[in-house]
């Protein structure tokens, strides 16, 4: 699938950039040692004007790109309309985040909104519940309420109270309604994982039995419009999200570079006797100070006896001498995620056993990165890993290498969800496309208290790949030298 096109016929866009030039792009060409002063993040001093200001996420992508996405969805539903519900207001008053699919097609953060994409008449309609006063109270641009069509580039906008009448007319005219039958995807979620968990804990619970909001909506539409056929558009939407546009790659890059800074400050502040809770708080602070609105997922810290649980995030251990840490953490920037893992000793010095395992993983990591390019496959990259292991004297048939060889160190796609849904993936023999973003992830548990994870967020480019999370100390020598520096927690003290 090619890159998203833009259209000059859409209304003026509201795009802006956080930086005048992509800061991260220029840094990626430098070695880690050169990056250290630049990426010192919270350890540097500066005036308030040097802090990162808030930017509305929807403004970071051109209106023409949102329009192009809606046009592509229309191509997939030429005989019907797609109804895309936005996220509802939080009942407890928590910060509002839009659902990923709604934001992907609109760039609109308004709560309780709906988007109707008409594949027959090739127009879209936005339904809103807020006026100018509400918009200001939500921290949204007032133009979204006063002139939503011009502000968003969506052809029509109406109060949500008019939606049922509009759908009734469309039902009589067209007769086919599409909606995704999978749960909405909010920050930290993956729609398939949420669906499976919901089924297991709620729908299949004999004392509960509730359906997801989306399946309830399907039932409600059949009640309100009995002559309309309801179809699922989950698959085409997820296929559209598979390959990222240049604008999307820029946002993932920004998320990844914020994540790099947070990993660096976490590593600097790590020492024996430090509670994990303080380090987790530091990671979130640095991420949000650098422009992230939330974390991509709960910060995972595995140390000591917590290694067997691959996503341990209780943050309840105080680090001890001899602990080897896996930090698996990333931020969410403007609805796009990064997934990064680093591995290092709590005392800053590798033992012989830790070094041997880590350098094995780092060697595999390098082989994979060196072989990513458009047109190749993860299976082909895996064969290079297998050959390298044999050259190094390892038995490549060992169980710990099996997944790394079969999938060429690929773990999952990354985008608006950390585990981005990719409904069209055919397997490790599928050729890689430019714009495909994924986790290059070397995850090798060894004992109950020792394992390593070396994970980067990578995008396939026209002529190779880009490591979007470049800038971390990765060799043993780099890590040991870096961890001798004082971190923010040491400088601030108690």
Convert the pLDDT of each residue in 66-81 to its tens digit.
999 999 999 999 999 9
b/e per residue, 82-114, with b = 16+ CB within 10 A? bbbbbbeeeeeeeebbbbbbbbbbbbbbbbebb
Distance CA 438, CA 415 (A): 8
pLDDT 10s digits, 375-386: 999 999 999 999
Task: Identify the band that residue 46 occupies on the pLDDT scale cut at 50, 70 and 90.
Answer: low
- DSSP at 243: B
Domains of the chain: residue spans and CATH: 55-240 (3.40.350.10), 246-492 (3.90.230.10)
d(Cα 103, Cα 58) in Å, to the nearest integer?
8
Rounded to an integer, the average pLDDT of 167-193 is: 94
Q: pLDDT tier at 421 (50, 70, 90 boundaries)?
A: confident
By CB atoms closer than 10 A (0-12, 13-18, 19+), residue 445 is middle
pLDDT tens digit sequence for 244-290: 999 999 999 999 999 999 999 999 999 999 999 999 999 999 999 99
Cβ(261)–Cβ(290) under 8 Å?
yes
Residue 317 has pLDDT above 80, yes or no: yes
- Is beta strand 300-302 parallel, antiparallel or unpaired with respect to 324-329? antiparallel
DSSP bridge partners of 125:
116, 156
Q: Give the span between the Cα atoms of 439 and 251, in whole angstroms.
A: 16
Percent of the chain with pLDDT over 90: 84
Q: What is the CA radius of gyration of the chain?
A: 24
Q: Is the separation of the CB atoms in 63 and 153 below 8 Å?
A: yes
Residues 6+ apart with CB under 8 A from 460: 372, 373, 374, 432, 433, 434, 435, 436, 437
Structure confidence by residue, pLDDT tens digits, 107-140: 999 999 999 999 999 999 999 999 999 999 999 9
| CB neighbours of residue 120 within 10 Å | 16
Q: How confident is residue 187, by pLDDT bands cut at 50, 70 and 90?
A: confident
DSSP string across 396-451: TTSHHHHHHHHHTTEEEE-SSSSS---TT---TTSPP-TTBEEEEEEEEEEETTEE
Do residues 80 and 225 make contact, with C-beta atoms less than 8 angstroms apart? no
pLDDT of residue 56 exceeding 80: yes
Query: Which positions ≥6 away from 82 have C-beta within 8 Å?
Result: 73, 116, 117, 119, 177, 178, 179, 233
Q: What is the pLDDT of residue 325?
A: 98
Centre a 10 Å sphere on the Cβ of residue 392 and count the other Cβ atoms it contains: 11
Residue 484 φ/ψ, nearest 5 degrees: -80, -15
Distance CA 237, CA 178 (A): 11
CA distance 60 to 107: 9
- 68 Cβ partners below 8 Å, 6+ apart? 4, 5, 6, 7
Q: Residue 305 CB: number of other CB atoms within 10 A?
A: 12
């Amino acid at each position: 699938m090619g890159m998203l096109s833009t259209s000059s016929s859409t209304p003026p866009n509201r795009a802006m950039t956080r930086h005048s030039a992509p800061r991260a792009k220029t840094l990626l060409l430098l070695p880690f040692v050169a990056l250290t002063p630049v990426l010192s993040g919270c350890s540097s001093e500066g005036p308030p004007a040097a802090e990162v200001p808030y930017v509305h996420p929807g403004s970071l992508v051109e209106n023409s790109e949102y329009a192009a996405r809606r046009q592509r969805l229309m191509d997939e539903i030429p005989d019907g309309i797609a109804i895309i519900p936005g996220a509802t207001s939080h009942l407890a008053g928590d910060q509002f985040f839009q659902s990923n699919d709604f934001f992907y097609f609109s760039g609109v953060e308004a709560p309780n909104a709906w988007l109707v994409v008409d594949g027959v008449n090739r127009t879209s309609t936005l339904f809103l519940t807020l006026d100018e006063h509400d918009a200001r109270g939500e921290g949204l641009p007032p133009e979204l309420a006063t002139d939503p069509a011009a502000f968003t580039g969506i052809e029509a906008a109406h109060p949500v109270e008019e939606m049922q009448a509009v759908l009734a007319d469309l039902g009589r005219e067209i007769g086919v309604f599409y909606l995704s039958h999978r749960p909405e995807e909010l920050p930290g979620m993956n729609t398939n994982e949420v669906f499976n968990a919901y089924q297991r804990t709620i729908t299949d619970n004999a004392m509960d039995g509730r359906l997801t909001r989306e399946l309830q909506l399907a039932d409600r539409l059949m009640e309100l419009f009995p002559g309309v056929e309801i179809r699922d558009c989950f698959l085409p939407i997820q296929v559209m999200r598979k390959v990222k546009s240049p604008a999307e790659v820029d946002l993932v890059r920004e998320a990844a570079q914020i994540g790099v800074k947070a990993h660096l400050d976490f590593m600097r502040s790590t020492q024996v006797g430090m509670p994990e809770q303080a380090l987790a708080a530091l990671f979130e602070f640095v991420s949000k100070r650098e422009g992230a609105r939330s974390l991509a997922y709960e910060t995972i810290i595995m140390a000591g006896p917590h290694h067997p649980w691959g996503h341990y995030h209780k943050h309840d251990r105080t680090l001890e001498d001899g602990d080897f840490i896996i930090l698996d953490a990333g931020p969410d920037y403007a609805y796009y995620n990064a997934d990064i893992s680093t591995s290092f000793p709590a005392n800053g010095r590798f033992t012989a056993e830790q070094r041997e395992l880590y350098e094995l993983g780092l060697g595999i990591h390098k082989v994979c990165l060196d072989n990513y390019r458009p047109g190749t496959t993860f299976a082909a990259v895996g064969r290079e890993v297998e050959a390298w292991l044999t050259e190094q004297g390892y038995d490549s048939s060992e169980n710990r290498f099996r997944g790394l060889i079969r999938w060429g160190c690929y773990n999952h796609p990354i985008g608006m969800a950390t585990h981005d849904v990719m409904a069209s993936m055919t397997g490790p023999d599928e050729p890689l496309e430019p714009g495909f973003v994924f986790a290059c992830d070397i995850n090798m548990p060894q004992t109950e208290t020792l394992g390593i994870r070396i994970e980067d967020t990578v995008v396939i480019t026209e002529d190779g790949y880009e490591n979007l999370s470049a800038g971390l100390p990765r060799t043993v020598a780099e890590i040991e030298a870096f961890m001798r520096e004082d971190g923010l927690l040491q400088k601030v003290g108690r």
